Chain A
């Protein structure tokens, strides 16, 4: 029963309205509101949420909204990452006011959507099979043949089980009568289910009691069914199937979701380069060789999936994939070719198709659709242009819907000409005024138009619908187009149960998924491992540069002035450690005298290879590529690094004097937090080992560089003191040194600390011992021989050469102003570390050769 609007304030807060009460008054301007009946009565299923929001107040609600944003950011929930090189990723927008649907209404929506999914499955089977719909004249041939999503190479592909269409998503809104009406179907590789789950997770954390008491249907079952369905598709059911998620990569707009779903379902996230076809099967390149792939959950559009038979210039596909699919040796969901079902022309013919294939019309309506290929429709479109939205039938690069009333006269003319020339390629639909939902805008609840995306997954003999979905609301009250690309916010969608729901074994599901993941960690795609390796190296490289820069800044601006000799040595060290040659190496005196500009460039110039910023950018790129293996704490620290990097220019405005505190310290701290976290919060599996090896190799190399630069030159005793102190300060061992030796700085005792002391985590030997330990744990081919592998020989030589060194020799054998033995020892160590790095990357990582087309056609992009 609807409850009177006037009575709502008294229902919970005993008649007193808070000062900052968050209310949502009835707005007569809004034609259709989800909260109110047309005569202003609150709908029953909204009452509880409205009351709760009101008693929470807008201050508290704003705080929750802040908290939600923080969680989303920490989870790395983004949309539209790096659409351009330097634009920051956009955090996923969640408006905390949920969209509510009553159980009763949901039951009828669900029945309609399940029936629709069944129909689309039958259409898919027919279009790539007998094409009875065309032979019998149910749809005009052009409705199919003119659509670029119809991939003729996919003729006769079919999946095991009753359903070829595994996932079916639908965008819907209310029509004038208040009935749900389908706007579009998504069958290519529907996105949004992962975002819906993330929204739900955040809601239950930020508004726990509201969520708990509202009796909301849970989403987990949908994902369980998806996982079960994917497993059941595997061609070989005798062994545990390997199911992977194929993503276009970290730059894709919905990459977050790809990684999120892969992690949640316990699947491997792969890119095209991680897969290869060989001997009629698809394999994943992993550290221990090739692992057979049984099922691919596809997030790459189908025409990109195989450069041999589909788009030949595609870099996102796997050569010969389609032929493996035909043989049934790998299953892809949704199947290749399924994008054709998104053709909006089918909406026009849906009633006829439903009659032909299901024997009845659909109960759920679709938006009225007029097609240029039908002469009557074409005439209607010409005569009613201002009331219509024009849509291209194929969604591709550069195509978009057009609201004709917003066009200038010239654009309108061009549009009409284009539609006359290519009538088959356009449909027109009326502009529906979406119903409104309360949205939290500037501290108030405002009505905003809303669009709901729902998700169905094939399950045994029918489909299962996610109870809820992804609601999106427009930024403005009057907006017609609601899309993430235009900055819409999303909402969690609550199907409100009339009675408490039987609790699903969520935790149990989580547990089984995670444990299966751990065991298989060894089979990570080698690309991911390579990115972790380089992430470790770049992080360490950036840190080393930051540390030497910090030391140099402090000494140059310190109380005591330093000699010209020291000055030159220190500045050269900056260039050598950061590899930003020529820099200060053999520089003219003028540059040594006024080094500020060059030093700042070494920090912030993104285009300069070796600068702090370029190393950190490279590290961030690697972290994006291996995001799915990083914990949320780690992602948070990575966000901090990103922030510090974005603010670097501001922080450096104070010049060199304040640079260490303002600009460099926050970065050093964040990098140390990152290295600490990777140690504490990452499973110590293969991925972690490679990241650590990257770190150790880099830190070893940089430590050798710093010792070489600062201690090899022979200088007078007072300069020697300055340089030793600079080295120890840079390597963060000054305090332990003082505690241990208390005396003047000695070359021998400091070399002992930075080269040989295995209790110092920054000493050279420490890095090499750790490397040896990691190398021992790497996957190896079983081999009975006792001969050492090349990388093992290198590590043994490095360990031994340090251990056998005599401190007196390193410190005292001098020639031409240099400590000759020390130099020789460090050079050899650097060389060995370089050899190890090359051996590891050659042995474990994939170095792809570039591919080309045998026949190059400039035109096939059209297909």
Chain B
């Protein structure tokens, strides 16, 4: 599927900002199932210096500094991207069992497997806590295929948790989400990542967009008006598989990836330091995903 995406982020500050430095993860990256055809970021007021680079995880990071005083900052990220569904022949009921996957993770000397172990470890926002292990446990049986177990976990999160756009801020601790049984896509992604790591399987955080127009005859997907987040789990030798706990599905053509990392903190769409500006800036975000 081919899409054109326009993502506008607007900050309104109470006081004048004299200068600022930011880094944005807003342009789609290339993956096995996705190709970014064109991408650009424009910033108002004009930047005094800007650069683009590939970060540690292979995402596109856009850095800019603004040296002129302003009370309003607008970042417009536009791109065109071509997406495919994941592994079209994927059969979740076949493949490595949990036990086999665990054994390979422990013993395999393949570079991919070794490198995947980075995503087993705690990261700043997701820790493999015992409570997550307890929650995830019922979905996992040692002789059952790993991916089928993950699908089950994804389904349970979808059923047990309430999607509640106002319920959390960006930084809700996973344990609080688990306890309150509600959250937004970031929270469900963090929760599922924590569960997978606690069970001993590498998992990453995937940040991006979802097309929310309902295809004819199908139910409308619940996403956000802005951006979306889901997870990717690693099955040794088989690769990474993306699941979307907010929509209880495998990520497909309608899931457009901007960046992935260990958790939200690695791929925050926009972060930075501002000088001045006062308290509580107003943030407006609009995302438009159009088929072309």
A residues apposed to B, CB below 8 Å: 131, 134-137, 140-142, 145-146, 152-153, 155, 277-280, 307-309, 312, 319-320, 323, 326-327, 424, 848-860, 862-863
Are A863 and B114 in touch, CB under 8 angstroms? no
Instruction: Report A-chain residues with C-beta under 8 Å of the C-beta of B109.
Output: 137
Query: Nearest chain-B residue to A141 (Cβ)?
Result: B117
Query: Nearest chain-B residue to A153 (Cβ)?
Result: B56
Pick the contact of A852: B23, B268, B274 (CB < 8 A).
Answer: B274
Instruction: Report B-chain residues with C-beta under 8 Å of the C-beta of A860.
Output: 124, 265
Are B115 and A134 in touch, CB under 8 angstroms? yes
Instruction: Report B-chain residues with C-beta under 8 Å of the C-beta of A137.
Output: 109, 114
* B170 sits at the interface (CB 8 A): yes
* B286 sits at the interface (CB 8 A): no
Instruction: Report B-chain residues with C-beta under 8 Å of the C-beta of A131.
Output: 115
A-B contact pairs, 18 of them (CB 8 A): A134-B114, A134-B115, A135-B114, A152-B57, A153-B55, A307-B273, A308-B272, A323-B51, A850-B276, A851-B273, A853-B273, A854-B20, A854-B271, A854-B272, A854-B273, A855-B170, A857-B124, A863-B123
Query: How big is the B interface, by class?
Result: 35 or more
Interface centre among A140, A277, A855 (most CB of B within 10 A): A855
Q: Return the CB mask of B259-292 against A: 1 if under 8 Å, else 0.
A: 0000001101011111111000000000000000
Shortest Cβ distance from residue B220 to the other chain A in the assembled complex, whole angstroms: 30
A857 CA to B173 CA, complexed, in Å = 11
* B240 sits at the interface (CB 8 A): no
Q: Return the CB mask of B17-54 against A: 1 if under 8 Å, else 0.
A: 01111110000000000000000000000001101010
Q: Return the CB mask of B207-245 against A: 1 if under 8 Å, else 0.
A: 000000000000000000000000000000000000000
Instruction: Report B-chain residues with C-beta under 8 Å of the C-beta of A857.
Output: 124-125, 170-171, 265
A857 CA to B121 CA, complexed, in Å = 20
A140 CA to B265 CA, complexed, in Å = 25
Are A141 and B114 in touch, CB under 8 angstroms? yes
Query: Nearest chain-A residue to B11 (Cβ)?
Result: A854
Are A854 and B51 in touch, CB under 8 angstroms? no
Assuming A153-B56, A279-B67, what are 5 further A-B pairs, CB within 8 angstroms? A152-B266, A278-B19, A308-B23, A851-B274, A858-B171
Shortest Cβ distance from residue B93 to the other chain A in the assembled complex, whole angstroms: 30
B residues apposed to A, CB below 8 Å: 11, 18-23, 48-49, 51, 53, 55-57, 63, 65, 67, 109, 111, 114-115, 117-118, 121, 123-125, 170-171, 173, 265-266, 268, 270-277
A278-B48, A308-B21, A309-B23 known; A145 and B118 CB under 8 Å?
A: yes
Are A277 and B48 in touch, CB under 8 angstroms? no
Instruction: Report B-chain residues with C-beta under 8 Å of the C-beta of A424.
Output: 121
Query: Nearest chain-A residue to B272 (Cβ)?
Result: A854
Pick the contact of A277: B56, B65, B123 (CB < 8 A).
Answer: B65
Are A320 and B118 in touch, CB under 8 angstroms? no
Interface centre among B57, B270, B271 (most CB of A within 10 A): B271
Pick the contact of B271: A849, A855, A862 (CB < 8 A).
Answer: A855
Pick the contact of A319: B11, B49, B55, B273 (CB < 8 A).
Answer: B273
Shortest Cβ distance from residue A598 to the other chain B in the assembled complex, whole angstroms: 41
A320 CA to B272 CA, complexed, in Å = 9
Instruction: Report B-chain residues with C-beta under 8 Å of the C-beta of A853.
Output: 271-273
A323 CA to B173 CA, complexed, in Å = 30
Are B265 and A277 in touch, CB under 8 angstroms? no
Instruction: Report A-chain residues with C-beta under 8 Å of the C-beta of B121.
Output: 142, 145-146, 424
Shortest Cβ distance from residue A860 to the other chain B in the assembled complex, whole angstroms: 5
Shortest Cβ distance from residue A552 to the other chain B in the assembled complex, whole angstroms: 47
Are A320 and B274 in touch, CB under 8 angstroms? no
Interface centre among B49, B111, B273, B275 (most CB of A within 10 A): B273
Query: Nearest chain-A residue to B171 (Cβ)?
Result: A857
A424 CA to B121 CA, complexed, in Å = 10
